[in-house]
Structure 1
Amino acid sequence: MRKWLVFLFLSIVVMGLTGSALAQNKVRLTIESWRNDDLKIWQETILPAFMKKYPNIEVVFAPTAPTEYNAVLDTKLKAGTAGDLITCRPFDKSLELFNAKHLDSLNDLPGMNNFSAVAKAAWSTDDGKTTFCVPMASVIHGFLYNRAIFRELNLQVPTTEAQFLQVLQRIQQTGKYSPLVMGTKDQWEAATMGYQNIGPTLWRGETGRQGLIAGTQQYNKGGFLQAFEALAKWRPFLPRGYQALAYPDAQNLFAQGRGAIYPAGSWDIATFRQMNPRLELGAFKPYTFGTASQCVINDHPDIAIGLNSASKNKEAARTFLAWVATAEFAQLYANALPGFFPLANVQYTVSDPVAQTFLSWRKECQASFRTAYQILSRNANPNNENDLWNASAQVLNGTFTPKQAADYVQSRLASWYGPQKGK
């Protein structure tokens, strides 16, 4: 009996020591992020899936309010208290962190070959040789429409500019609905959901965008001028008093079923699902012009995740980052956040039918992203992105002609950006 008790005691001690050793071997990672609206999704869906696969790695999602994120993250990085994993905003802010040696190069990370050069561009050096964040998701530009209104008025989804304008005219003739729901009060919608939505097809996507950077193309010539001309045609079809309509006002107008077509991005899908679950949402891609048949979409990079150079848990952090590049993560993320699409070239399915419609355009269209986001907006004043907001809004307000808008944006870019000077 005494021998059995001694054996039991020793077994308990050994088990305790083993459990203690396992606990000590468990690594805890912290993710810094501005997406505090995603907290529940990370806690309940994404992280449990990872930790089930890697039980010795605990991951904590610790977001900061979006407006405070940049300042708080900078403070933490300088103090050495930032998390192991840094959620990366696209382009210059993350490039600044890499240049300041706060983010590691991820060129040799398993899974990085799953991403195209366009997908990685928002988190790579200007020469494209070094990528420092794993792309997580993009948003896609297009149009949302009220399927019930289209059914009532016997309208067909437009695929060309001529068809689009014809549909708007037919809706307007009924006097029952706003044909095109968008305001200009906040300005950014006019550029983001207008100019940058229909423009890529005219300036041939990456050809035009990279031409601006190289100085071989200008905003007041070719497809970039034509995009302002195309945008001006929207003006008669906007809601009454659209000049005073802010972004949330336009969302409410469309959600209430008072408008037929909403120039949008896929990021609005979840918003309308919440605002009015009964709203019959449909989506169609940016229309083509004239005899052009090749569509180009803005598949705009939105969010990525990188490795804090000061992390003491780099091996575990790299394990997590490699997992972010997999089909398993893509499947989880795409369905937890409909309208935010993983950028990895892996197989995944999307359950939301409208999100699936947006996603299908990747197979049909060439892809680019918003022209001002890479390099061209590094100057504080004038700033290319802000100038596009202003010019696009003024075109829709009728205070700028398309040519005046294009000349305004081009002259201000040429005033500071070397490759465009004198053009």
Structure 2
Amino acid sequence: MKKYLGILLLGLVALSPALAQNKVKLTIESWRNDDLKIWQETILPAFMKKYPNIEVVFAPSAPTEYNAVLDTKLKAGTAGDLITCRPFDKSLELFNAKHLESLNNLPGMNNFSEVAKAAWSTDDGKTTFCVPMASVIHGFLYNKAIFRELGLSEPKTEAEFLATLQKIQASGKYSPLVMGTKDQWESATMGYQNIGPTLWKGEVGRKGLIAGTQQYNKGGFLQAFEALAKWRPFLPRGYQALAYPDAQNLFAQGRGAIYPAGSWDIATFRQMNPKLELGAFKPYTFPNLGATQCVINDHPDIAIGLNAASKNKEAARTFLSWVASDEFAQLYANALPGFFPLANVSYTVSDPVAQTFLSWRKECQASFRTAYQILSRNANPNNENDLWNASAQVLNGTMTPKQAADFVQSRLASWYGPQKGK
């Protein structure tokens, strides 16, 4: 018996390295250090329960340091197996430098539309190198209590929107439209890029700018500046000095009725004033201009890719396929309300306002901010910064819509080949 037990123990000892080798450890690089608890307590346990032989560690860096830290690790060969990808050019640089692998044949990638993949694909759209995780959606938040008090309903067209603002203003009790122009970016991001896609027909217009077949001072792009100018009489008193946090405070305190927003603001207002009755309506249409099909800015925010130098590629691909699944979508959407998974899979969110934003995907076409792909690769002039400046000046009354459109167009044409001479 002793001899038999000895042989058995020797056999187990011999097997133990093989058993240990079956357990693979993956590390995720990320800038979202504020999400650490969510990954540790919700997302990764769900994956590891399904795949017990794969251990995953979420190891974020500070957001402002992420690019530099990641570059250093990649050059030294010490970066994690999975790389969290920022949208557009930074991740494209990593792919072109052969730090990220193509994921074209990854199971689950067919769950994503071309728009969803655009922020993490080559310029020709033929190769995708990160699995899209989430986007943010543009629209309008409103105070339900104020709408009830004044007998208002959610506007669907520009005419209804302006009539609603006039009624709020006539009450003399609330700021109709809560936004400032001090920081400039809100004027473009939550103003011009919020209502504009419906006028320039989303992807048709955005891709037209890249191809040089459309211009900022013509058609829907000019009309968007003209529509934005109509907001000016309804902004808060002293809005030119109002910064982004100031506008958030004003709306959270119940002093304003409508807040041009992104879904990222939902969680902020839930924290600032849990008693605030939030509602949301989608960007309005322009029937008088023939723009009756709503288009939402479903803007890509975050994705995840495979480090080309990883020694655990098979396990990493298993994890990435799971990120493309409905199980991941359900977990992520509820852990971070207002950040919406980009996969065309079935999931629901528990926050009712976040669910409202999400429902617009079924009703509207989708695009994203015009300046983010290719058009802002020049440092100065920079298309994104020019849109901030011009949109703020339109709202301040220091530029006419035509002057703003000409300004943005001329500066883009000064360096971008397909737009030169236009």
Q: TM-score range by the shorter chain?
A: over 0.9
SS in structure 1 opposite 2:124?
Answer: coil
Per the TM alignment, residue 87 of structure 1 is displaced from its structure 2 partner at its CA by 0.5
Per the TM alignment, residue 174 of structure 1 is displaced from its structure 2 partner at its CA by 1.4
Normalised by the size of structure 2, how large is the TM-score?
Answer: 0.96
Aligned counterpart for 1:277 among listed residues 269, 274, 278: 274
SS in structure 1 opposite 2:36?
Answer: helix
Q: Deviations over 1:78-137 (max 9, x none)?
A: 111111111111111110110011100001111111111111111000111000000011
Q: Deviations over 1:179-227 (max 9, x none)?
A: 1111111110000000000000111111111110111110001110010
Per the TM alignment, residue 10 of structure 1 is displaced from its structure 2 partner at its CA by 6.8
Describe the shift of the 1:11–1:389 C-alpha distance in structure 2 as closer, same or farther (beyond 3 A).
same
SS in structure 1 opposite 2:43?
Answer: helix
Residues 1:210 and 2:207 aligned together:
yes
Aligned partners of 1:3 and 1:315: how far apart in 2? 41
Per the TM alignment, residue 172 of structure 1 is displaced from its structure 2 partner at its CA by 1.0
Aligned partners of 1:387 and 1:377: how far apart in 2? 10
Aligned length: 417
Q: Deviations over 1:314-354 (max 9, x none)?
A: 11111100110111111111111111111111111111110
Q: Which runs of 5 or more residues in structure 1 are unaligned?
A: none
Residues 1:2 and 2:2 aligned together:
yes
Per the TM alignment, residue 274 of structure 1 is displaced from its structure 2 partner at its CA by 1.1
SS in structure 1 opposite 2:308?
Answer: coil
Aligned partners of 1:5 and 1:365: how far apart in 2? 70
Normalised by the size of structure 1, how large is the TM-score?
Answer: 0.96
Per the TM alignment, residue 7 of structure 1 is displaced from its structure 2 partner at its CA by 8.8
- State how 1:236-247 maps to structure 2 within 5 Å: 236-247=233-244
Greater mean deviation of Cα atoms: 408-417 or 345-354: 345-354
Q: Deviations over 1:39-70 (max 9, x none)?
A: 11111000000011111111111111111111
Describe the shift of the 1:152–1:98 C-alpha distance in structure 2 as closer, same or farther (beyond 3 A).
same
Per the TM alignment, residue 258 of structure 1 is displaced from its structure 2 partner at its CA by 1.0
Aligned partners of 2:97 and 2:11: how far apart in 1? 52
Residues 1:201 and 2:190 aligned together:
no
SS in structure 2 opposite 1:189?
Answer: helix
Number of the residue aligned with 1:47: 44
Describe the shift of the 1:155–1:110 C-alpha distance in structure 2 as closer, same or farther (beyond 3 A).
same
Residues 1:89 and 2:86 aligned together:
yes
Per the TM alignment, residue 23 of structure 1 is displaced from its structure 2 partner at its CA by 3.1
Q: Deviations over 1:294-330 (max 9, x none)?
A: 1111111111000011111111111100110111111
Describe the shift of the 1:11–1:97 C-alpha distance in structure 2 as closer, same or farther (beyond 3 A).
closer
Describe the shift of the 1:406–1:79 C-alpha distance in structure 2 as closer, same or farther (beyond 3 A).
same
Per the TM alignment, residue 11 of structure 1 is displaced from its structure 2 partner at its CA by 9.1
Per the TM alignment, residue 25 of structure 1 is displaced from its structure 2 partner at its CA by 2.5
Aligned partners of 1:27 and 1:4: how far apart in 2? 33
Aligned partners of 1:149 and 1:254: how far apart in 2? 11
RMSD: 1.6
Per the TM alignment, residue 21 of structure 1 is displaced from its structure 2 partner at its CA by 4.0
Number of the residue aligned with 1:340: 339
Aligned partners of 1:71 and 1:283: how far apart in 2? 38
Describe the shift of the 1:397–1:313 C-alpha distance in structure 2 as closer, same or farther (beyond 3 A).
same
Name the % identity. Answer: 91
Describe the shift of the 1:100–1:174 C-alpha distance in structure 2 as closer, same or farther (beyond 3 A).
same
Aligned partners of 2:19 and 2:269: how far apart in 1? 46
Per the TM alignment, residue 293 of structure 1 is displaced from its structure 2 partner at its CA by 2.2
User: Structure 1: which 4+ aligned runs deviate by more than 4 Å?
Assistant: 1-14
Describe the shift of the 1:420–1:277 C-alpha distance in structure 2 as closer, same or farther (beyond 3 A).
same
Per the TM alignment, residue 22 of structure 1 is displaced from its structure 2 partner at its CA by 2.8
Q: Deviations over 1:236-277 (max 9, x none)?
A: 111111111111111111111111100001111111111111
Aligned partners of 2:237 and 2:376: how far apart in 1? 33
Aligned partners of 1:27 and 1:415: how far apart in 2? 52
Aligned partners of 1:88 and 1:109: how far apart in 2? 17
Aligned partners of 1:71 and 1:262: how far apart in 2? 36
Q: Deviations over 1:2-37 (max 9, x none)?
A: 6898699779868xxxx5543343111111111111
Number of the residue aligned with 2:310: 311
SS in structure 1 opposite 2:264?
Answer: helix
Greater mean deviation of Cα atoms: 171-180 or 139-148: 171-180
Number of the residue aligned with 2:186: 189
Q: Which runs of 5 or more residues in structure 2 are unaligned?
A: none
Describe the shift of the 1:24–1:391 C-alpha distance in structure 2 as closer, same or farther (beyond 3 A).
same
Number of the residue aligned with 2:350: 351
